Amino acid sequence: MADWDPIAKVYDPLKAGSIDGTDVEPHDRAVWRAMSATYKPNKAVVGDPLLTLFVARLNPQTTEEKLHQVFSKYGDIQRLRLVRDLVTGFSKGYAFIEYKEERSVSRARREANKLVVDQHEVFVDFEQERTLRGWVPRRMGGGLGGKKESGQLRFGGRDRPFRKPINVGMEERRGWDRGRDRQDWGRHREDEKNNN
């Protein structure tokens, strides 16, 4: 318990699917998919992963120019990639921004999170694909965050950190067992009354 951290240091789909990281069985099919997935980071992605930010929840109308305008105030941008659908060319609502300096990345992550861009509050965090060991993307059942409506929330990230698990001590466990014994004894007495 001393080494507990609300942010995952290594990605484990089973833990990410649990609000406190203590689940022993997957609760949805996506977690099963992520556990059996063999994912390797995209080799076509260039740039330094430690200088790259992930920007999500973008307005579908937001352009590369608008992102460059908004995020260049935190430092010099090396590369900016707005992820688009290969067939339609429409924005998928997220982008990767690589800065030239580490202090620019830290500042942008700290100050740009929850910034409103084109009427949408954006989410900003470090890139996970190449920096978090064991990473499995959302399309394969992994990822972090998610929407409540989908029933597939993922925890352990900045957006939705793990909650500290409840540590059940021996005294509490003994009291619970005694309480259960009392319940069983009470049920036994009820059964005797009903049978007589």
- Quick one: three-class SS letters along 45-111? CCCCHHHEEEEECCCCCCCHHHHHHHHHHHCCEEEEEEEECCCCCCEEEEEEEEECCHHHHHHHHHH
Tens of pLDDT along the chain (196 residues)? 567 788 888 999 999 999 988 888 988 889 999 999 988 888 888 899 999 999 999 999 999 999 999 999 999 999 999 999 999 999 999 999 999 999 999 999 999 999 999 999 999 999 988 888 899 988 888 888 887 787 788 999 888 899 988 764 444 444 444 444 444 444 444 555 555 5
Phi, psi dihedrals of residue 110, rounded to the nearest 5° = -70, -45
Task: Let me know if domain 13-150 sits in CATH 3.30.40.10.
Answer: no
Domain boundaries, the chain: 13-150, 168-196
Distance (Å, whole) CA 165 – CA 151: 21
Cβ atoms 62, 122 nearer than 8 A = no
